[in-house]
């Protein structure tokens, strides 16, 4: 019998030598591309470590300033060109979603993590009528209700001696309340209370207080580090959940989000079984356009609710913080936006969607903010098909992970003049339609975000209302917005002074 220590040593040697041997053999000819860091050719560890540093997409962008193609892992490539976007994400692409989606998925795939094109097409058909503009506009009253509640809180804060607020926190509460009402016809009351604590039930029937934002972010913080190593992901996640420290702590906190989703889904399903007529996203999932039941398993319904409450809150809240930050950093753009908004009327109530949906400068401000700070800044992974794929004149063999990071695509100086400048006017100039081909905050092609109309509606109504009603300024005039990147590029807390604008007091 070999001693345990020798077996462990031999395993360590094998695990170390195998990737080195694969790097030397280079069966896919990937060594021709420059590495993201010294480790990229033999392990994903270097890319995973960058997650700990907080803003991986910015570091990768620095590499792309020099190299159009960067090897970010032993089997992973990052591209930066417009043509690469079409080859990787376009409607005619032969690529499929990368392994990270199936690795991180639950037992029931949802529209976000479904890898199979057939499964995704089924999911999209299931949800497409729910996200049709006609349906969304019928739910405008739910968004308006949340804007009114936020305005009530902001008016109250204006009357306090300090008159300061954490804008990031309040916009997060706004999007939580909005998406849960739109999706499930359930009022969380986060804006009324000023917190994100949701009372739910754990699987064993005990009452549980869940911090919606903290629990959602916790599991993303952990998973976003280890998911880049697909071969080791399952083992790493299982092991790290048991080992005391950061990962076990984050996964433990993240259970609260899953419990909350299950609880809210069950409550909504009971209302459906009781015959209560409700107008929301889940109703559109449970029944087709003719009112015929879709006959979905409860686990499949819960999986879709999970992604709706995740993506429908986190990304929009991030976008709302970013656009306000850029407006305050660029006072001339704020002046021009107010000029456009003040032409609407003298009414200071919540602005209706019909009055703002076609305002060009408001939309340009939103798009320019999404360009500079896309909530999904990293490259959404795709895996090449059995026949491989040609990208920018390079043949990429089968089963290779490829991606184009939005953060880099949006900073292509050949497309976006002065790419680091916040210039909403670029979207209004002649030839602005050409910019759209390089604008991928919602991904592109058949896998593009199905919920983009919701986030635009929320942003248009809220930003128009707030910019017309209030004056904001940074508590610290020299302060700069910072970011933490997990899957979402989360902005830091943003402390603002707030006051009612003069005309709002009349």
- The Cα 264–Cα 212 span in angstroms is 12
Alpha helices in 448-490 (DSSP H): 452-469
Q: Quick check: 98 and 386 in contact, CB under 8 A?
A: no
Give the three-class secondary structure for 443: strand
The span from the first CA to the last CA of the chain, in angstroms, equals 89
Per DSSP, 33 falls in state S
DSSP for 208-249, please give it. EEEEHHHHHHHHHHHHHHHTT-HHHHHHHHHHHTTSTTHHHH
* Distance (Å, whole) CA 211 – CA 174: 15
CA 457 to chain centroid = 16
Q: In whole angstroms, what is the distance from residue 111 CA to residue 307 CA?
A: 8
- Give the three-state DSSP class for 49: helix
Check: CB of residue 172 under 8 Å from CB of residue 196.
Answer: yes
* Residue keyed to tokens 């959602």: 216
Measure the CA–CA gap between 210 and 199, rounded to whole angstroms: 6
Q: Is 449 annotated as a binding residue?
A: yes
CB atoms under 10 Å from CB of 10, counted, come to 11
DSSP 8-state symbol, 287: B
Answer left, alpha or beta for residue 392, where phi above 0 means left and psi between -120 and 50 means alpha: left
Beta pairing class for 96-97 and 483-485? unpaired
> Distance of CA 465 to CAs 132, 143, 362, Å?
24, 12, 11
C-alpha neighbours within 13 Å on the C-beta side of residue 448: 16
* Residues of the binding site for heme: 449
For the annotated binding site, the residues are 449
């Amino acid at each position: 019998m070999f001693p345990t220590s020798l077996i462990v040593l031999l395993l360590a040697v094998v695990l170390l030598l195998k990737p080195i041997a694969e790097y030397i053999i280079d069966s896919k000819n990937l060594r021709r591309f420059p590495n993201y860091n010294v480790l990229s050719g033999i392990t994903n560890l270097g890319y995973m470590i960058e997650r700990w540093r907080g803003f991986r997409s910015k570091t990768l962008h620095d590499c792309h300033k020099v190299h159009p193609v960067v090897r970010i892992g032993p089997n992973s490539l990052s591209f930066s060109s417009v043509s690469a976007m079409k080859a990787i994400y376009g409607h005619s692409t032969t690529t499929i979603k990368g392994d990270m989606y199936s690795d991180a998925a639950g037992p029931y795939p949802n529209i976000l993590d479904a890898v199979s094109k057939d499964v995704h097409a089924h999911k999209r058909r299931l949800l497409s009528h729910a996200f049709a503009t006609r349906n969304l506009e019928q739910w405008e009253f739910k968004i308006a209700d949340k804007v009114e509640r936020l305005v009530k809180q902001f008016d109250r804060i204006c009357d306090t001696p300090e008159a300061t607020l954490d804008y990031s926190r309040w916009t997060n509460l706004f999007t939580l309340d909005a998406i849960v009402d739109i999706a499930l016809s359930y009022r969380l009351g986060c804006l009324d209370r000023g917190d994100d604590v949701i009372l739910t039930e754990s699987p064993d029937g005990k009452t549980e207080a869940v911090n919606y934002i903290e629990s959602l972010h916790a599991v993303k913080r952990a998973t976003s580090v280890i998911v880049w190593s697909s071969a080791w992901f399952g083992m790493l996640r299982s092991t790290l959940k048991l080992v005391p420290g950061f990962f076990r702590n984050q996964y433990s906190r993240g259970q609260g989000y899953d419990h909350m989703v299950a609880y809210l889904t069950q409550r909504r399903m009971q209302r459906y079984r009781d015959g209560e007529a409700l107008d929301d996203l889940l109703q559109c999932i449970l029944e087709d356009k003719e009112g015929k039941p879709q006959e979905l398993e409860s686990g499949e319904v819960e999986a879709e609710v999970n992604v709706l409450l995740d993506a429908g809150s986190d990304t929009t809240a991030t976008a709302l913080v970013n656009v306000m930050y850029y407006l305050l950093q660029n006072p001339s753009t704020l002046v021009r936006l107010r000029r456009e908004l003040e032409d609407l009327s003298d009414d200071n109530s919540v602005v209706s969607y019909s009055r703002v949906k076609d305002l060009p400068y408001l939309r340009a401000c939103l798009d320019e903010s999404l360009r500079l700070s896309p909530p999904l800044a990293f490259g959404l992974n795709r895996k090449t098909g059995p026949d491989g794929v040609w990208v920018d004149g390079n043949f990429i063999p089968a089963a290779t992970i490829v991606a184009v990071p939005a953060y880099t695509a949006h900073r292509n100086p050949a497309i976006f003049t002065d790419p680091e400048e916040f210039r909403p006017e670029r979207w209004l100039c002649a030839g602005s339609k050409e910019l759209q081909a390089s604008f991928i905050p919602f991904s592109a092609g058949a896998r593009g975000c199905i919920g983009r109309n919701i986030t635009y509606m929320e942003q248009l109504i809220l930003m128009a209302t707030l910019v017309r009603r209030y004056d904001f300024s940074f508590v610290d005039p020299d302060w700069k917005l910072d970011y933490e990147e997990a899957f979402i590029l989360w902005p830091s807390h943003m402390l603002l002074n707030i006051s009612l604008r003069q005309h709002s007091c009349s």
